[in-house]
């Protein structure tokens, strides 16, 4: 591999060594402004983070006002609380959605996953079940990049160097990946039954008296590409969890907040909208009651956990979302994005599947559309599409590494909630050109192969 000269001389250890990163100097709405004056449409929001775009004066003013007039930091283990954190928790949980009643705020999604796992283990200790420490997760999942979070990740290349650190108290079942896993003549109900049976069999194999929880993404992110479960899947999983007294932990860090009724829920990314790092763990009242009647406290926490300007920013963000009806607008614009993807991108020769929800969509590529044949891993077709798009001024995100058994070549299209009709049109136009140009050598090779057989 050729190491880029800038990356080699930089004092930052960049994540990619082979290419010089472009320097961003400012943001304007959903556009990134580069050092050379060029603009790039940000159609991925990072990994679905900057949901309000890159310029929100009200948020900047709220942060400045807080730092000028209030205290900046309160240690989470101190005997103090503060109005901003209490107000943020009230905003999220005032109506106890799904009986979720308490919140833990942390910085990153990985920290939220760690906190959720530790909370589950403490819950069972408080219940007099110290052996209940095993977690069941799903293959090709992603829950974060700390060692604790990686233990429940099914992403092979992210775990590759750290196998010796991985907990033996984790096992994996198949994801609800209907596009490649559902048999041709299999109904949704039969597919759900097959996955449910695998999950239940795994509980029985490990031993119901050992399983602390089941963790899953509601809509998979970068590993499987905006993959929603088949309708009815999580209802079946919930029933099995209830049958064997297994905690259901739902990771909604990248996809927002749903209503599936978890015992513990992690949230993040859009929570801080890219202006600050902010994630959280929400828990049911029964979890709190177990801790209350047991040790009387939470055996977890971080020094850098409660920066009050984060909560002020979140409160301002919620005001903007409510004022501008951005939740409703997200659904409306999401329908437009879906229609454009299906009309303009779906018919392309190497596009296998289009899936997602709201403004969170993915395009999966296939070497053979009818047979759903994936590209060989070394081809990195989606990375070529990402690079081609960037040259034309469009920022999208492809899959990051090898997730597991199924090679999933996909790109994410998840623009901010503030995206306009014309911006959606620009995104799709540029993406279409990038896919067509990237496809040409593969289609030419296929054509040559067919001609050679005739």
Taking domain 325-452, whether its CATH number is 3.40.50.300 is answered by no
pLDDT tier for residue 258 given thresholds of 50, 70 and 90: very low
Look at residue 449 and tell me whether its pLDDT is greater than 70.
no
What are 181-205's pLDDT values in tens digits?
999 999 999 999 999 999 999 999 9
**Which bin fits 225, alpha (ψ -120 to 50), beta or left (φ > 0)?**
left
Strands 360-365 and 410-413, by their bridges, are: antiparallel
Confidence (pLDDT) at 450:
57
What are 2-27's pLDDT values in tens digits?
899 999 999 999 998 988 999 999 99
For 105, residues 6+ apart whose C-beta sits below 8 A from its C-beta are: 85, 88, 89, 278, 279, 280, 305, 306, 310, 311
For 365, residues 6+ apart whose C-beta sits below 8 A from its C-beta are: 350, 351, 352, 375, 381, 382, 385, 409, 410, 435
Confidence (pLDDT) at 24:
95
pLDDT tier for residue 452 given thresholds of 50, 70 and 90: low
Helix, strand and coil in the chain, % to nearest 5 = 45, 20, 40
Taking domain 59-320, whether its CATH number is 3.30.420.40 is answered by no
d(CA 326, CA 418): 7
Round the CA-based radius of gyration of the chain to a whole number and report it.
23
Confidence (pLDDT) at 453:
58
What are 390-447's pLDDT values in tens digits?
999 999 999 888 888 888 999 999 999 999 999 999 999 999 999 999 999 999 877 6
Name the residue among 79, 243, 181 with its Cα closest to residue 404. 181
Q: Does an H or E element contain 45, and which?
A: helix 45-48
Residue/partner pairs of 333-336 with CB below 8 Å, 24 or more apart: 333/359, 333/417, 333/419, 333/424, 334/358, 334/359, 334/360, 334/361, 336/421, 336/424
Mean pLDDT score, 273-291: 91
Delimit the domains of the chain by residue range.
Answer: 59-320, 325-452
What are 220-255's pLDDT values in tens digits?
988 999 999 999 999 999 999 999 999 999 998 776
Mean pLDDT score, 269-275: 81
* Residue located via tokens 């909630």: 417
């Amino acid at each position: 591999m050729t190491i880029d000269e800038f990356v080699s001389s930089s004092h930052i250890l960049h994540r990619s060594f082979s290419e010089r990163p472009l320097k961003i100097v400012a943001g304007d709405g959903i556009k990134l402004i580069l050092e050379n004056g060029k603009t790039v449409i940000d159609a991925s929001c990072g990994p679905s983070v900057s949901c309000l775009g890159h310029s929100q004066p009200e948020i900047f003013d709220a942060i400045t006002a807080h730092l000028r007039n209030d205290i900046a930091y309160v240690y989470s283990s101190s005997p103090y609380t503060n109005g901003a954190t209490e107000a943020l928790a009230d905003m999220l949980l005032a109506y106890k959605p799904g009986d979720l009643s308490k919140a833990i705020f942390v910085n990153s999604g990985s920290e939220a996953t760690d906190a959720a796992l530790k909370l589950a283990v403490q819950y069972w200790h408080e219940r007099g079940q110290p052996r209940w420490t095993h977690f069941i997760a799903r293959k090709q999942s992603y829950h974060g990049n700390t060692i604790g979070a990686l233990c429940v990740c099914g992403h092979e290349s992210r775990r590759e160097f750290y196998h010796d650190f991985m907990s033996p108290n984790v096992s994996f079942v198949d994801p609800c990946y209907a596009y490649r896993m559902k048999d041709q003549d299999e109904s949704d109900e039969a597919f759900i039954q097959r996955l449910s049976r695998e999950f239940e069999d795994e509980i029985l194999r490990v031993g119901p008296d050992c399983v602390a929880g089941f963790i899953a993404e509601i809509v998979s992110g970068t590993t499987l590409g905006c993959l929603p479960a088949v309708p009815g899947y999580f209802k079946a999983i919930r029933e099995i969890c209830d049958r064997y007294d297994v905690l259901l932990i739902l990771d909604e860090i990248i996809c927002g907040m749903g209503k599936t009724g978890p015992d513990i829920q992690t949230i993040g990314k859009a929570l801080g909208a890219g202006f600050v790092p902010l994630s959280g763990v929400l828990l049911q009242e029964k979890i709190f009651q177990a801790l209350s009647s047991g040790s009387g406290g939470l055996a977890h926490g971080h020094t850098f956990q409660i920066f009050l300007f984060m909560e002020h920013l979140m409160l301002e963000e919620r005001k903007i979302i409510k004022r501008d009806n951005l939740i409703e607008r997200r659904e409306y614009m999401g329908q437009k994005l879906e229609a454009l993807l299906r009309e303009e991108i779906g018919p392309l020769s190497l596009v296998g599947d289009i899936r997602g929800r709201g403004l969170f969509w993915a395009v999966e590529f296939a070497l053979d559309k009818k047979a759903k044949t994936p590209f060989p891993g070394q081809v990195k077709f989606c990375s070529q599409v990402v690079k081609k798009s960037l040259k034309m001024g469009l920022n999208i995100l492809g899959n990051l590494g090898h997730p597991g058994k199924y090679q999933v070549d996909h790109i994410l299209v998840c623009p901010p909630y503030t995206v306009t009709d014309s911006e959606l049109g620009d995104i799709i136009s540029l993406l279409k050109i990038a896919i067509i140009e990237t496809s040409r050598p593969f289609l030419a090779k296929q054509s040559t192969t067919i001609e050679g057989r005739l």
